[in-house]
Amino acid sequence: MGEDYRLMWQELGLDLEAHDALLGVLGQAYGDIYLAQKNRPLGMSYFDFVMSEVHGLRIRELLDEKKAGRKIIGSYCVFVPEEIALAANATLVGLCSGADFAVEEVERLLPRNTCALIKSSFGFKIGKVCPYLESADMVVGENTCDGKKKAYEILGKMVENLYVMDLPQVKSEHGKGLLKAEYYRFKKAVEQLTGIAVTAESLKQAIQTVNAKRAAIHRLSALRKADPAPISGLDALLANQVFFYDNPARFTESVNKICDELEQRVEAHQGVFPERTPRILISGCPQAVPNWKLPMIIETSGAVIVGEESCVGERGTRNLTSETGSTIDEMMESLVDRYFKVDCAIFTPNSERLDHIKEMAAAYKADGVIHYGLQFCQPYLMESIPVENALEEEGIPCLRIDTDYSMEDVGQLKTRVEAFIEQLR
């Protein structure tokens, strides 16, 4: 790091003192949670580097891209298609929403019973500590849950360049039509922002780039089916989190490199934990950086996480976009097909998600499922009871957790998670 980053942050309008405090906490947490793990794949050193430079070098890169004429688009949701941004000469980045910040100020704008993720996105804005948000030429909000929908009305007054994407709530032809119309509207907005029209070639290239990134994650996920698991759930989650920030091509290469190493581990029957360690599937709300609370508790209580049924995980990354189209319209259609399959809990009914949880539990040989609900996240909390009932009918133990980003319930959660793991042994 050094003084040039400070100047960069200052120019972005960050609150340097608050930002220092945030980086201090982040660095400490990363050390305690990540670097303290044993038997990590060597390839994870790439992600250690990325995390140490998450507000430094990566921001410098984005600003260099901007200087060269590219635009930066910030997003809060996996429904915002990265392919369209890339095809119109823009870079898409995920925006910060995984830690409590400036809570008191946030609660002057949002009710206290708003989920931690939404509050966090406001906190990073009010506290002026998210360099991604401040670098963005366009910020995309999306009409997913009621909390986010209404929050964007308020965020729109604080962020000049907020663009709100509408999303369907039902998996009908009508719903698909809405998604398609919204993707065309988004394409037009991005083209206007960058002044560069999406072409068939650029869209094809973009689809391939993002598919390659997803395929690398699929490869990583498949390796986690082995017992002993070759990588911790914490490390795999980190790869899924960095998916939203990193340069796509470099990310793909780095994940594939880790996979090469993991293949050797699987072959040699080596794992990050001993064989027959109880295996947990996490299902539910997204876990954005640095929200590592639950996985940290699980993996320091004698279990290993083998999959995440989550937007930061398989719900977000599964299904590649068909690469068969040759015209823009055909490829847009393929994108709509791919994204329309995302089984977010804002959809009703949403039985595909339940099927996917069962599928994942079987594929990753999970001994139990921990349903992760963020307090006040109505869609996922509403689904958590039917999920638990359905899993129990199939003889798959399920523990429902309802928590937020604060650390005050860690002791209590640890007892519940440990007791659940004792049940699985």
Partner 1 sequence: MRYAGIDIGSRTIELVVVDDRGVAQDSLQADTGFDPIVQAKKLLSEVSFDHITATGYGRNLFEVAFDSPTVTEIKAHATGAWALFPGVFGVLDIGGQDSKAMSLLNNGRVKKFEMNDRCAAGTGKFLEIMARSLGYDIDAFGPEAMLAESYLNISSMCTVFAESEVTSLIAKGEGRREIARGLHESVVRRAAAMVNRAAGKGGDIVFTGGVAKNPCIVRSLAEKLGCRVFIPDDPQAVGAFGAALLTMQAHGGQ
- Positions in the binding site for partner 1 (CB under 8 A): 392, 397, 408-409, 411-412, 414-416, 418-419, 422-423
- Rounded to a whole number of angstroms, the minimum distance from the CB of residue 376 to partner 1 is 14
Nearest to 223 by CA among 171, 187, 261, 188: 261
Q: Which C-beta is closer to partner 1: that of 266 or that of 369?
A: 369
- Rounded to a whole number of angstroms, the minimum distance from the CB of residue 409 to partner 1 is 5
Phi, psi angles (nearest 5°) of residue 398: -140, 135
Asked if residues 289 and 98 have their Cβ atoms less than 8 Å apart, the reply is yes
- Rounded to a whole number of angstroms, the minimum distance from the CB of residue 403 to partner 1 is 9
Asked if residues 421 and 302 have their Cβ atoms less than 8 Å apart, the reply is yes
Instruction: Give the amino acid at 87.
Output: A
Tokens of 365: 């040989």
- Rounded to a whole number of angstroms, the minimum distance from the CB of residue 20 to partner 1 is 31
Which residues lie closer than 8 Å to 166 by C-beta, 6 or more apart?
142, 143, 178, 182
Q: Which C-beta is closer to partner 1: that of 13 or that of 411?
A: 411
Secondary structure element (H or E) that encloses residue 372, with its range = strand 368-374
| 34: DSSP letter | I
Distance CA 33, CA 297 (A): 10
Q: Is the peptide bond before 274 cis (omega within 30 degrees of 0)?
A: no
Q: Which C-beta is closer to partner 1: that of 137 or that of 388?
A: 388
Q: Which C-beta is closer to partner 1: that of 327 or that of 412?
A: 412
Helix (H, G, I), strand (E, B) or coil at 367: coil
Q: Which C-beta is closer to partner 1: that of 365 or that of 414?
A: 414
- Rounded to a whole number of angstroms, the minimum distance from the CB of residue 280 to partner 1 is 16
- Rounded to a whole number of angstroms, the minimum distance from the CB of residue 423 to partner 1 is 5
Q: Which C-beta is closer to partner 1: that of 326 or that of 406?
A: 406
